[in-house]
Structure 1
Amino acid sequence: MSPTSRAADTLPTALPSFVGRQEDTAEVRRLLGRARLLTLTGVGGVGKTRLALEVAQGARAAFPDGVWLVDLAPVRQASAVAGAVAAALRLPGDGMTPVLDHLVEYLAGRRALILLDNCEHLVDPCAHLAQVLLAAATELRVLVTSRQSLGLPGEHLFTVDPLPVPDQAVELLRERAVAVQPEFAVDATNREAVVRLCRELDGLPLAIELAAAWLRTLTVDQITDRLADRFALLSRGSRTAPPHQRTLRATLDWSYGLCTPAEQALLARLSVFAGEFTLEAAEEVCSGDGIARYEVLYLLDRLVTQSVVVVRRYRARTAYRLLETVRQYGRDRLAESGEEQRAQLQHRDYFLALAEGIAAAWCGPGQQEGLERLRNGHADFLAALDCSDAPQSRLALVAALRYHWCVGGFLGEGRQQLERALRSAPEPSPLRAQALWVAAWVAMLQGDTLAACGRLDEADRLGEEFDDVTVRGHVQGLRATLRFQQGQFDEVLPLLRTALEWHQASDDAFGFVITLYVLGVAETLAGDANADETARRAVCAAETLGDRWILAHALWVQGLQSFLRSDREASAALLRAALEAGQGFDDHTWAAQTLELLAYLAVPENEYERAANLLGSARALRQYVAISPLALAPLLTTHHARCVEHIVEALGPDAFEKALAYGGRLSTPAQAVAFALGSQTPAASPVADANPLTKRERQVSALIAKGLSNRKIAAELVVSPRTVDSHVESIRAKLHFSSRAQVAAWWAAQQAPTS
C-alpha cells in the first residue's frame, strides 16, 4: 500500500466533539487556502492541536495526495525531526539517502498537507525542514502548532485565544461534564456558578476539560472554591493524551521547560503583577540579579513569541499580562526560587514611585493621562498596598493615590485602604500626618463629617509637631469646607484665607488653587465683595498651571455667580465650559453640582423633563459615592426645592418621578456630562439598555444595597466568602464600577419605576 493511500490513517479516526471553534475553523481553513505555511500559536492548553486536527480532517478532499499528522512532542533531538516526518508518512528508508532528501524526492509534485504538531521545543529544525520541503514541493502545505512562530518568510500566523466566557466555554464544560455525569445540565440554578468556573479557568479548554472530570464527585461551586490550588485539583487527565497535556501543571511545566533560564526567571518575576503591565514596569520590577534592564525587552519578546505572555495593543499604548493560570504557576516558581520577597518589594517600590510622580505633577496638563495610568494600575496598586512588611511605605502609597481616590472615582476603595494603612502604622510620623488629611478629604466627600473632623484634629497635631506647613494648610482648608457644609459661615472665610497663606508658604500649587476655588464658593454664597475676583483668580491660576480639573471647578463657581445674578445665558455658557473642561474626570461631586445648576436653568426655559433628568442624574451621582446632597453648596437647597416644585407642577408627580428615574440611569460622570452637553441620552446608557448581571449577581447586588458585608452575604446565600468576593468583582467589572456604594446605588436605581 502506498503512503498516499494510507495518508488519512495518520489522523485520529474519531475526535471529541468540537465546541466553540467554528469561526476559528473557518478562518484557519480560509488562511490555509492561500498560505503555504500556517502556524497556530497560543498558550498551552488553549486547543491549538484540536483546532489543527479539525481543520486537517475537513481538508482531506483538498489534498488528494495525503494529509499527515506529525506529533513532535516526544521528539527530543533536532536531528530526529525529519525522521519523525518520514515515519508519519511511512516512508521506508534505504539507509543511504539522507532522510530529508528522501522526503523532498517523495513530496515533490504532490498536493499534500503536513501537520507539524507541538513544535515549540524544536523551532529551528522545524523551520529548516519546512523551508526545504516548501521550496521543493510547490503544491505542499504545512500547518504548524507551536507556542511560537517558526519565523520564516511567508509564514502566516493565527493566534488561538481562550474560549469566550460564557458561551463557548460553558458549552464545552457542559458537554464534557455530561460524559462523566449524564444528568448534568446547565440551568438557572447553576449557570452563574458554571460561568464563574469557566472565567476562573481563563476559558482554557484543557483546564475546563480537566475540571469537568471532577463533576463526577464535586459540585461546580466546590470545584471553584478549590481553585486556589488549581494545579493540585486539575491533575486528572486523559491517559491517552500526550504526557504534557494530561494535567494543567504538566502543560505549564512543558512550556516552562522550553524557556531558557533567563526566560524562566523573568516569567516568575512577572507573576508579581496583578493586572496588565507595561514594558517600563517590567524593566523596573524584574531587572537585577542576573537580568540586566536592557535584557527585559528581549526576554519579554521571547515569552510573547512563545505564547506565555499575552500582549494587548490599545490605541495609545501596549500592555502585557499573564493569564491567571500562568500567573499562579509563575508565582509558585517565584516562591521556589527564593526571590518572591525581593520581587514584591521592587513591585511595591515601582508603583509607589509611579503614584508619587503622578501626585507631584498633578497640577499640570497631564492630569487625565495620570488618572488613566492610575486606573490601569489599580489592581497592582492594591497589590502593592498588601506588601505588609513596611507600614510607612503603605502610608506613603495610600496618600500618594489621593487623586485616584478623590478624582478618579474610587472613593470607597480609598476610604478602606486609608483606614487600613492608618491602623497598621499608628505611631506619629510625617507620613501619617499626610495620610490623615487625605483620609479626611475622602471622608468629607462621602459626607462623613464626624470621621473627617477626627482625622483633621490628629493631622493638625502632627502637622504642628513636625512643622509640616503643607499638612497644616490642607487641614485648614478642609476644616473650612466642613464648617461650610455645617452652615458655620462665620468661621469659613478666615480659615480659608489662612489656608491660602499656608499653601503659599509651602509652595503647594494644588493646595493653593483648590483653596482659591473653595474660597470663591464661600464668598459667593456669603455675598462677599471679593467673590468675583477670587473666582477669576482661580480660573487664571488653573489655566496657568494647565490644571483642567480645578479649571472645571472654578468655571462652575463663575457659572454659580451668574446664576445668582439671574444672568441665565452667561451661567449656561460658563457651566457648559466647565463640563467641557471636566470631561474625563470621574468627579461625582463636581458633576452633580453642575447638573444641579443646569436643572435650575432649564426650568425657566420650560424644559421640565430635561430638568428632571438632570436632577435625577445628579442624585444618582451623589448616591454612587455616598456624598451628601449639594455637598459644597447647602445654601442652594432653596433653589433645589423651587426647581422641583415647578417641575412637579408642570409634569405632575408621576411624570416627574419617571423623568427623575430616567435621568438616574446616567450613573457615571462621563455619561452625565455627555448628556448635559447633548451627546448622549439616558437610554444610551449601558445600564439602561439591559441588566448584564446573572441571577446570583443580582442577588448579591440586592444584599450589597442592604449594607451587608461579603461575609454576611456568604452566610445569607450559603456559599463561601471567596465565592461572594468573585461575584462582587464580576459585578463591578460588568458595570464598570469602582465601589460597593456604586453597586448599591445602581441597584436602587434599577428598582425605580420606569414606566
Structure 2
Amino acid sequence: MVSTFGPYAGNLPAASTSFVGRRQDVAEIRRSLSGARLLTLTGAGGIGKTRLALEAATVAGEDYPEGVWLVDLAPVRHPAALASATATALGLPDLGARPPLEQLTAHLAERRTLLVLDNCEHLVDACAELARLLLSAAPGLRILTTSRRTLDVVGECVFSVAPLSPADSLLLLGDRAAAVDADFRIEEADEAHVSRLCTDLDGLPLAIELAASRLRTLTVEQAVDRLEDRFALLADIDRSAPPRQRTLRAAIDGSYELCAPAEQLLWQRLSVFAGGFALDAAEDVCAGHGLSPYEVLDLLDRLVSQSIVLITEREGQPRYRLLETIREYGRERLAWSGEQERLLRRHRDFFLSLAERTAADWFGPGQEQALARLRAEHDNLLAALEHGRRAQTVVPVPARARTAAAESAGRAREVADPGDTQAWLALAAALCFHWCCNGFIGEGRRQFDRVLAAAPAPTPARAAALWSAAWVCQMQGDLDAADRWLDEAEELGERLGDPLVRPNVEGMRGTLALYRGRPHEAVPLLEGAVAAQSTLGGEPGTLRWLFQLTLAQVYLGDPGAAETGRRAVAVSEAHGERLTRAYALWVLGFGAWLRGSPEESGALMAAALEIHRGFNDHAGVVMALEVLAWSIAAFGDHERAALLLGALRPLSRELSPSSAGAFAEPHARCEEAIVEALGRAAYDKAFAEGGSYDSLPAAIALALGTGKGPRAAVSHAPLKALSRREREVAALVAEGMSNRQIATALGRSPRTVTGHVENILAKLGLGSRTQVGAWWTVNGETIRGTDARRDSRT
C-alpha cells in the first residue's frame, strides 16, 4: 500500500515520502475511530506510531468536516503548556481573554473534528486530563494519540502498533533504498542478507529507514555486519532495555558512527532547536569550535541525504527538522560532549538577536514577513526563554562515551548567571510585537509574570520589560496590572535616566485612559508621547501613539482627528509600515461612521482589512469587521451585515471583554436594524452562515467579497490610472470641497471639474465622492511621493 497525505481541512503536514504497508492497520484505526472517541496508538520508539497516525487521520479526513488537526507535543516540556500548545496548533489566537482550556472547549464544542496528539509519553497525565475535558465538552470530537504509554482514561481504546511484517519490511527497505540510490533493486541483492537485515532490525520503520540510507555506500552484507557488531556492544551497556529499544539504539548508533566527524558534530548541535529550524539559524548557532559557517549547508545536505534531517515548511518558509527520536539522541550526545550549555546560549542569543532586530525595525517594511518568521520560530522562542530559568540537568554518561569535558560537565551544576536573567528580560521585551500582534498575548503574559518575578534588579532591560508587560496586560484587559507595571517602569526610567522609557510609559497611560473611557485624559498623554518619541527617534516611532491619539480625538468630536489620522497614514506609507496604517485607516473609518458617512467608513474599513490579510492580528480584524458591519447595514445591505455579525461571533469570543465594551451599543442597534429589515428567521440563518467563517482569512475574504454596498469602494485600479490633474482634483474632493470650490482653487470652470470627477469615478470604478475621499486617504501619500520624484527628475 503506497499513499500520501490528502487535502483535508486542518494542518496535517504533507508527506515527504510514501507510506508503505500496514493497509489493514489504517483501515482498523479508521473503523475504531468511528466508535471510540479516544484511540491511543502505543509502541516502542521508532515503530512508526506517528506516521501511521498521520496516514490513518488523512484517510479518515473526509469523516471530519471541521478538520483534522495535528498537535506535535515533542517540543512541549511542561504540562501547564499543553492546552496552549493545542490551541496554537488549531490556529486559535492566544489573546489571554480566557484560559486556553476554556478557549479550546468553546471552539470544539459544536464541531466534528479529529485531534491528533502526537508524542504524549512525557505528558501522559496532562494529556489524559485534557482528553477527558475536551471529550466531555465536545460530542463531535475524536482524539487520536500516539504514546509509548497509554493514557488510562475511561473509554480509551488502545491500538498496539506492531513491527512491520517481513513482507512490509522488505517493501519499505526497497522503497527507501531506491530513493537514495535509483539503481538499487532489492531482488538483485543477496536475498539471505536482505532478510537478515530486516530481521535484525525487528521490523522497526525508523531503523529500516536509517539502514536504507546507508545502502548508498554500503552493501547489504556490510550493513548487516555493522549492525551485528553494534548489537553485541550495546547489549553490554543496558541489558534492562527491551530488545526493540536496543535495536533502535543500535540503528541510530550505527547511523551516527557512519557519519563523518563533522556530520556527527552538526547532528549534536542541531538538537538544541525545538520544532525545526531555518538555515540561517543552523549556520549561526552551530558554527564555531570545529565547524565553519560555510560548512554547515554542505553538512546539512549530507544529513538530509542520510534521513537524519528532514526538509519541511512552516508559515510558507523552508525549514528543517529532526525526528524527535533523532533529536533526543543528538541531545544526549551533546550533553556528553560538554558543549550543551554553550550551544544553548548560542541558540538563545540567536533568537534574542532576531527578536531585537524585529523590534528595532518594526515601523518599516517587512512586518508581515517578520511576524511570519516569529510564528514559525515560536517553539524555539519558548525554548530560548526557558534557558533563562531552567536548572542544569546532569545526563549520565556511559563509560565508553565519557571524556574529560563530559566528566567536568557532569560533576558541576550550573551556577545562575545574572547575564542569563537579563537576556531573558531582553528577549521577553523584544518579543512584544510577537505577543501582541501575532496572537500570543496569553503566552506573553505568562512569560512576563515569570521573568519580572525572577529578575528584580533595576536595569534598563527590566524597564523595557515593564512597559512591554503593561502593553500585554492592556491587551488582556487587565488594566490594573498594567498600571502597576507602568508605575514601576516610570520610577525605574527616572532612576536610570533612560530617555526611551518616558514616551512609552506616557503613551501606555494614554491608551489605558482610552480603555477606561476617558479620552479627555488620554489626549494630553498621547500628545506628549508623540512629541517625545518624535524627538528621540523621528517620525516612525510616533506611529505607536498617533493612531491612538486619533481615536481619542474622534471620541471627543475633535475636528483635528482627521488630520491626525491622515498624518499617521502618511508616516506609515512614507516608511513602508503597514500594520499601524491599517489601524489608522480603521480609526478614520470609525470617525466617518460616527459622522454619519457609512459609505466612506465602509471603504476605509475594507482598506484596513486588505492590509490585515498579511497579518495574524485578531483584534485589528475584529474591530474592522465590526464597524464594517454597521456601515453595510446603514447602507442597506442587511443580509451581508448579518453574515459579518455571524463571522464576528467566534472571532470576538477570544478578545477581552473590555476591548468590546465601546461597541456594545452600536452592535445592538445594528442587530436590531437587521432583524427589523429581514425578520428574525432570515437574520438567524445569515448569522449562522457567517459563523462558519471562523478563521481570520475566511472572515476577511467574506468581508471583501464582491457585491453592492461599501465593499465596492475599495478600488484596485493602478495608481497611475489618474492623470496629474485628476489626482489634484481627487485630493481636493477628499478635503470635502464641492466642484465649484475646486474650480475656484484650480482656476478652472465648474464644467471642467465636473468632467474630471466623472472620469475619476469611472477609472477607479467607484460610485460616489465619499468613496473618492476614502480612496485618496488610502493612496494619497503614495501618489504625492511618486509625483514629487517625477518632478525632481524633470
- Fold in common (TM above 0.5): yes
Task: Note the C-alpha offset of 1:668.
Answer: 3.4
Partner Cα separation in structure 2 for residue 513 and residue 74 of structure 1? 69
Amino acid at match of 2:506: Q
Partner Cα separation in structure 2 for residue 116 and residue 416 of structure 1? 41
Contact 1:282 1:296 in 2 (8 A): yes
Residue 237 of structure 1 aligns with which residue?
Answer: 243
User: CA-to-partner distance for each residue in 1:632-664, whole Å, 9 max, x for gaps?
Assistant: xx2x54422321221233345565455445434
Partner Cα separation in structure 1 for residue 703 and residue 496 of structure 2? 46
Q: Determine helix, strand or coil for the equivalent of 1:586.
A: coil
Residue 467 of structure 2 aligns with which residue?
Answer: 437
Amino acid at match of 2:672: E
Residue 370 of structure 2 aligns with which residue?
Answer: 370
Residue 387 of structure 1 aligns with which residue?
Answer: 387
Contact 1:599 1:611 in 2 (8 A): yes
Structure-2 change in CA distance of 1:250 and 1:48 (3 Å):
farther
Q: Determine helix, strand or coil for the equivalent of 2:243.
A: coil
Amino acid at match of 1:71: H
Task: Note the C-alpha offset of 1:471.
Answer: 1.9
Partner Cα separation in structure 2 for residue 387 and residue 666 of structure 1? 39
Residue 640 of structure 1 aligns with which residue?
Answer: 667
Residue 539 of structure 1 aligns with which residue?
Answer: 569
Aligned length: 496
Residue 676 of structure 2 aligns with which residue?
Answer: 649
Residue 22 of structure 2 aligns with which residue?
Answer: 19
After TM superposition, the score normalised by the length of structure 2 is 0.57
Residues 587-606 of structure 1 aligned to structure 2 (within 5 Å) = 587-606=617-636
Residue 569 of structure 1 aligns with which residue?
Answer: 599
Structure-2 change in CA distance of 1:146 and 1:623 (3 Å):
farther
Contact 1:548 1:581 in 2 (8 A): yes
User: CA-to-partner distance for each residue in 1:500-521, whole Å, 9 max, x for gaps?
Assistant: 1121122165541121111111
Q: Would you say 1:677 and 2:704 are equivalent positions?
A: yes
Contact 2:586 2:605 in 1 (8 A): yes
Residues 692-731 of structure 1 aligned to structure 2 (within 5 Å) = none
Structure-2 change in CA distance of 1:74 and 1:286 (3 Å):
farther
Residue 170 of structure 2 aligns with which residue?
Answer: 53
Q: Determine helix, strand or coil for the equivalent of 2:319.
A: strand
User: CA-to-partner distance for each residue in 1:72-124, whole Å, 9 max, x for gaps?
Assistant: 7999xxxxxxxxxxxxxxxxxxxxxxxxxxxxxxxxxxxxxxx9994655744
Task: Note the C-alpha offset of 1:628.
Answer: 2.6
Q: Determine helix, strand or coil for the equivalent of 1:649.
A: helix
Q: Determine helix, strand or coil for the equivalent of 1:274.
A: coil
Residues 124-163 of structure 1 aligned to structure 2 (within 5 Å) = 124=217, 126=219
Task: Note the C-alpha offset of 1:539.
Answer: 0.6
Task: Note the C-alpha offset of 1:68.
Answer: 4.3
Structure-2 change in CA distance of 1:439 and 1:668 (3 Å):
farther
Contact 1:70 1:117 in 2 (8 A): no
Contact 1:595 1:676 in 2 (8 A): yes
User: CA-to-partner distance for each residue in 1:409-437, whole Å, 9 max, x for gaps?
Assistant: 11111111111111111222111111111
Structure-2 change in CA distance of 1:653 and 1:327 (3 Å):
same
Q: Determine helix, strand or coil for the equivalent of 2:669.
A: helix
Residue 482 of structure 1 aligns with which residue?
Answer: 512
User: CA-to-partner distance for each residue in 1:313-338, whole Å, 9 max, x for gaps?
Assistant: 57964311000111111111111111
Q: Which moved more, 1:48-57 or 1:310-319?
A: 48-57
Structure-2 change in CA distance of 1:465 and 1:21 (3 Å):
farther
Contact 1:71 1:116 in 2 (8 A): no
Partner Cα separation in structure 2 for residue 233 and residue 370 of structure 1? 50
Partner Cα separation in structure 2 for residue 300 and residue 349 of structure 1? 21
Residues 302-381 of structure 1 aligned to structure 2 (within 5 Å) = 302-312=302-312, 317-381=317-381
User: CA-to-partner distance for each residue in 1:248-307, whole Å, 9 max, x for gaps?
Assistant: 222211211111222112111110000111121111111111112212122211111111
Partner Cα separation in structure 2 for residue 117 and residue 544 of structure 1? 54
Partner Cα separation in structure 1 for residue 279 and residue 212 of structure 2? 28
Task: Note the C-alpha offset of 1:470.
Answer: 2.1
Amino acid at match of 1:387: H
Contact 1:120 1:258 in 2 (8 A): no
Amino acid at match of 1:469: P
Contact 1:45 1:251 in 2 (8 A): no
Structure-2 change in CA distance of 1:500 and 1:420 (3 Å):
same
How large is the RMSD of aligned CA atoms in angstroms?
Answer: 3.7
Amino acid at match of 1:671: A
Q: Determine helix, strand or coil for the equivalent of 1:290.
A: coil
Amino acid at match of 2:386: D
Residue 262 of structure 1 aligns with which residue?
Answer: 262
Amino acid at match of 2:170: L
Q: Determine helix, strand or coil for the equivalent of 2:370.
A: helix
Residue 502 of structure 2 aligns with which residue?
Answer: 472
Amino acid at match of 1:307: S
Residue 249 of structure 1 aligns with which residue?
Answer: 249
Amino acid at match of 1:380: N
Task: Note the C-alpha offset of 1:487.
Answer: 1.8
Residues 471-620 of structure 1 aligned to structure 2 (within 5 Å) = 471-507=501-537, 511-620=541-650
Structure-2 change in CA distance of 1:119 and 1:521 (3 Å):
closer
Partner Cα separation in structure 2 for residue 596 and residue 117 of structure 1? 54
Partner Cα separation in structure 2 for residue 495 and residue 510 of structure 1? 18
Partner Cα separation in structure 2 for residue 19 and residue 654 of structure 1? 50
Structure-2 change in CA distance of 1:342 and 1:372 (3 Å):
same
Residue 695 of structure 2 aligns with which residue?
Answer: 668
Structure of greater Rg: 1
Amino acid at match of 1:362: W
Partner Cα separation in structure 1 for residue 269 and residue 673 of structure 2? 63
Partner Cα separation in structure 2 for residue 117 and residue 492 of structure 1? 63
Partner Cα separation in structure 1 for residue 265 and residue 512 of structure 2? 52
Q: Determine helix, strand or coil for the equivalent of 1:630.
A: helix
Amino acid at match of 2:625: L
Partner Cα separation in structure 2 for residue 57 and residue 367 of structure 1? 47
Structure-2 change in CA distance of 1:651 and 1:264 (3 Å):
same
Task: Note the C-alpha offset of 1:609.
Answer: 3.5
Partner Cα separation in structure 2 for residue 428 and residue 629 of structure 1? 32
Partner Cα separation in structure 2 for residue 74 and residue 567 of structure 1? 80
Residue 454 of structure 2 aligns with which residue?
Answer: 424
Partner Cα separation in structure 1 for residue 243 and residue 375 of structure 2? 40
Structure-2 change in CA distance of 1:405 and 1:651 (3 Å):
same
Contact 1:69 1:116 in 2 (8 A): no
Contact 2:598 2:635 in 1 (8 A): no
The percent of aligned pairs where both chains have the same amino acid is: 44
Residues 173-322 of structure 1 aligned to structure 2 (within 5 Å) = 235-237=241-243, 247-312=247-312, 317-322=317-322
Task: Note the C-alpha offset of 1:537.
Answer: 0.3
Residues 410-421 of structure 1 aligned to structure 2 (within 5 Å) = 410-421=440-451
Structure-2 change in CA distance of 1:613 and 1:403 (3 Å):
same
Q: Determine helix, strand or coil for the equivalent of 1:667.
A: coil
Structure-2 change in CA distance of 1:476 and 1:573 (3 Å):
same
Q: Determine helix, strand or coil for the equivalent of 1:469.
A: coil
Contact 2:438 2:615 in 1 (8 A): yes
Residue 766 of structure 2 aligns with which residue?
Answer: none
Task: Note the C-alpha offset of 1:368.
Answer: 0.5
Partner Cα separation in structure 2 for residue 282 and residue 487 of structure 1? 49
Contact 2:522 2:552 in 1 (8 A): yes
Residues 448-467 of structure 1 aligned to structure 2 (within 5 Å) = 448-467=478-497
Amino acid at match of 1:371: L
Partner Cα separation in structure 2 for residue 315 and residue 461 of structure 1? 41
Residue 69 of structure 1 aligns with which residue?
Answer: 191
Contact 1:556 1:594 in 2 (8 A): yes
Partner Cα separation in structure 2 for residue 670 and residue 234 of structure 1? 53
Gapped runs of 5+ residues in structure 1?
1-16, 24-42, 76-114, 131-143, 148-230, 239-244, 681-755
Partner Cα separation in structure 2 for residue 486 and residue 672 of structure 1? 29
Contact 2:173 2:209 in 1 (8 A): no
